[in-house]
Structure 1
Amino acid sequence: MPRMTEKALTADRLDADSADGDRASEAPGQPPSPQRGRGGRLWAVSKQRLSSADLGAVRFFSRSARWRVGRTSAVLISRLGNGWLYPILALMIVEHFGSKAGRVILAAGLNAGLLHCLYPLIKRMIGRPRPFRMDARVLSLSGVLDEHSFPSGHAMTLCGVLVPIVLAWPDCLPAALALLLLMGWARIATGHHYPSDICAGAAFGFILSYPLSVWALAV
């Protein structure tokens, strides 16, 4: 019950902050225009429906971690995404490219460094609470690196590292997509992210890393 109360209070505070922000955006002493009123209501309803669908998807995927195999797999994959996965990828790159692996590793390292600097800033700016903080039915299966969920730093970094690998080694695209999907599933199943966090993280990772990867591989 204390956990439910804390989450309900958190949700109430977020709703109150959103409502205060909407009121503050209107000019003082002037009634909101009908168009702005309708647009605001439409946005609020759409946002609520999307948030509900997002949280419903988290509950759905978290069911796959109820059994020991699913739970262990989700936690292991998530922990690999904390950093242990990348030396393994580097060894695979060296094995495949040999003496030419340096450029690919350089591009992947530059992307990882850039994204690691950016995603904490974006998370703090957005300030979206993690799913297990908002719903008592969603359990956190492992520790978190921070308290914010949007975007997924794991998906963002992994996508940024995979981009130069796929550019230099196109045949590994199916394996790269499978790895990214596995990481996304694990982050949702552990209760740490919404599906929209994963999609946004992957999109940010691709958009930011693609130009740098093309440049680094061409040098």
Structure 2
Amino acid sequence: MMRRSGALRASPVDEGMKRLSRAANHSALWLVVAGVLATRKGVTRRAALRGVAAIGGASFSASLVAKRLFPRRRPAADLLLVPRRLTKRPTSSSFPSGHAASAAAFTTAVAMESPALAAAIAPVAAAVAYSRVHTGVHWPSDVAAGAAIGAGVALLTRRWWPLGRTEPASAREHRALEALVDGEGLVVVVNPSAGLGGDDPTDRIVEEWPKATIVGIEDLDTVIADHAPHALGVAGGDGSVAAVAALAAAHRLPLVLVPAGTLNHFARDVGVQGLDDAARAVADGDGVLVDLAAVTVDGEGPRWFVNTASLGGYPDMVRLRENLQDKWGKWPAAAIALARVLRTSRPMRVELNGEPQLVWMLFVGNGPYRPKGFAPTMRPALDAGLMDVRYIRADTRFSRARFFLGALLGSLHRSRTYRHLETRWLDVRLLDGEVAIATDGEVGPTGSTFEFRSRPAALAVYRPQG
């Protein structure tokens, strides 16, 4: 096969294959494609993120593991005409092809989230893989092995990162809410700085609901007294949603969700993908009742949360990320902060419902999360009346190493260092000092006693039928 490829007549394809092969060096081509895909929210962004994760695993497996275990000579340069040869030939082991591994990993990962996107990417990935044979730097079997490694790594990402759901979480039966024509009676609280790009959604909201009142997140404390709304809306990330949802629940007002944050976990789980979904539900008066959760800190509160609360290293990571993100950007700052906190964290001596425990961190979710391992990513139900409680024990030998190993292998739910339960209430008392609590990604007050409670059917949310 190599000789037949080398015997092909010279053509303009030769220069194209060389350029394509160089463009894919160090997975640069796929990282650029992922960056473009990530600009769109929803399944497109999930496909990009899964693709990047798969590239990382495939590059490690092919370049740092397989190449060292299976050294192999590259094809002889004289098998090809000079114009076909790469100017700078690689010197590492020929087996397997790292380019093919990255191309297959990215394409397979994207296909798991969006087959339509993968269909557009697959021809380019196939061309990249073949370019390594066409330019004479890999045997066909190198490419085949690399592609197999890449596809396998991409499929393995499901062990740590389940596929996104297309259906919303279950909620209590559809509730007939007031239909707000042109948004009359609706007050929308907008956080213009939410999201990766800081895209202010105010103009689109005004166009959709010309009779609605728009206020900034800084005016949240006075919104009820100043406007007496029939319904509260929120355009922002999960932190903004939690603050407005707490106000809506306290005043028994229905909530309108306009996803405008980076991840929009709560809106996604409720089943509101964008402004169009919210507008349809508001016009028709369709909605559901969903659970919330609340925590009191040293008797003060309650502090409501729509997604998660945590004690331990996460609040420290959030604080450090906020200090670093102006210099590094949000996601690099988060990675740096996580690495520092994991290296320096100390275990907490606590009582959980009266039982003494030594833990690294504690996670509490509003509703049961899945999967059961370290990285809960989805909620099948917002009407279970339960909280999802997870903690990492620090009282076993080599607990931190076992925790990292279990997380790496995707088997943390079977580890002795990991505990998971679903409950309606949880009382936490620190035996040494105080710690801060983080709710929905925002750092809250410090304290030594924390009382978590599930609040079933606490909030009415506009959600379209079907």
The TM-score with structure 1 as length reference comes to 0.63
Q: What is aligned with 1:78?
A: 21
Residue 62 of structure 2 contacts residue 149 of structure 2 at CA under 8 Å; is this kept in 1?
Answer: no
Q: What whole-Å deviation, never above 9, does each CA across 1:20-51 have from its counterpart, x for those lacking one?
A: xxxxxxxxxxxxxxxxxxxxxxxxxxxxxxxx
> Do the aligned residues in 1 keep the contact of 2:73 with 2:94 (CA within 8 Å)?
yes
Shift in Å, 1:204: 1.0
Asked if structure 1 preserves the Cα contact closer than 8 Å seen for 2:79 and 2:136, the reply is no
Alignment of 1:89 onto 2:33: yes
The CA distance in 1 between the partners of 2:158 and 2:36, in whole Å, is 18
Aligned residues: 159
Cα distance change, pair 214–73 in 1 and its aligned pair in 2 (3 A): farther
The code of the aligned residue for 2:3 comes to: R
Aligned residue identity for 2:72: R
* Corresponding residue number in structure 2 for 1:122: 66
Moved more, 137-146 or 186-195: 137-146
Say yes or no: does 1:62 pair with 2:6. Answer: yes
CA deviation vs aligned residue, 1:170-196 (integer Å, no higher than 9, x gap): 123433331222112211010011111
Higher relative contact order (CA 8 A, sep 6+): 1
Aligned residue type for 1:210? L
Alignment pair present for 1:193 and 2:193: no
Partner of 2:105: 160
Give the deviation of 1:166 after TM superposition: 1.1
Aligned counterparts, 1:165-180, within 5 A: 165-180=110-125
Larger Rg computed on CA atoms: 2
The amino acid of 1:125's aligned partner reads: L
Q: Which has the higher helix share?
A: 1
Contact 2:101 / 2:146 at 8 angstroms: preserved in 1?
yes
TM superposition outliers: structure 1 runs of 4+ over 6 Å: none
For residues 88 and 65 of structure 1, the distance between their equivalents in structure 2, rounded to whole angstroms, comes to 32
Q: CA–CA distance in 2 between the matches of 1:105 and 1:177?
A: 14
Gaps of 5+ in 2: 165-376, 378-466
> Which of 81, 93, 108 is matched with 1:148 structurally?
93
Q: Hey, which of these two has a bigger chunk of strand by percent? A: 2
Instruction: State the identity as a percent.
Output: 25
Q: Is the 8 A contact 2:34 2:51 kept in 1?
A: no
Determine the C-alpha separation between the residues in 2 that align with 1:182 and 1:64: 16
Structure 2 SS opposite 1:131: coil
State the shift of 1:78 in Å.
0.3
Deviation at 1:167, TM superposition (A): 1.3
How many angstroms apart in 1 are the aligned matches of 2:74 and 2:107? 25
Is 1:182 aligned to residue 139 of structure 2?
no
| In 2, Cα distance between equivalents of 1:165 and 1:61 | 30
Matched letter for residue 101 of structure 2: M
Q: Is the 8 A contact 2:55 2:150 kept in 1?
A: no
Q: What TM-score do the two structures reach when normalised by structure 2?
A: 0.32
SS at match of 1:188: helix
Specify whether residues 76 and 154 from structure 1 end up closer, same or farther in structure 2 by C-alpha distance, changes over 3 A only.
same
Gaps of 5+ in 1: 1-56
Deviation at 1:94, TM superposition (A): 3.0
2:79 is equivalent to residue 137 of structure 1: yes
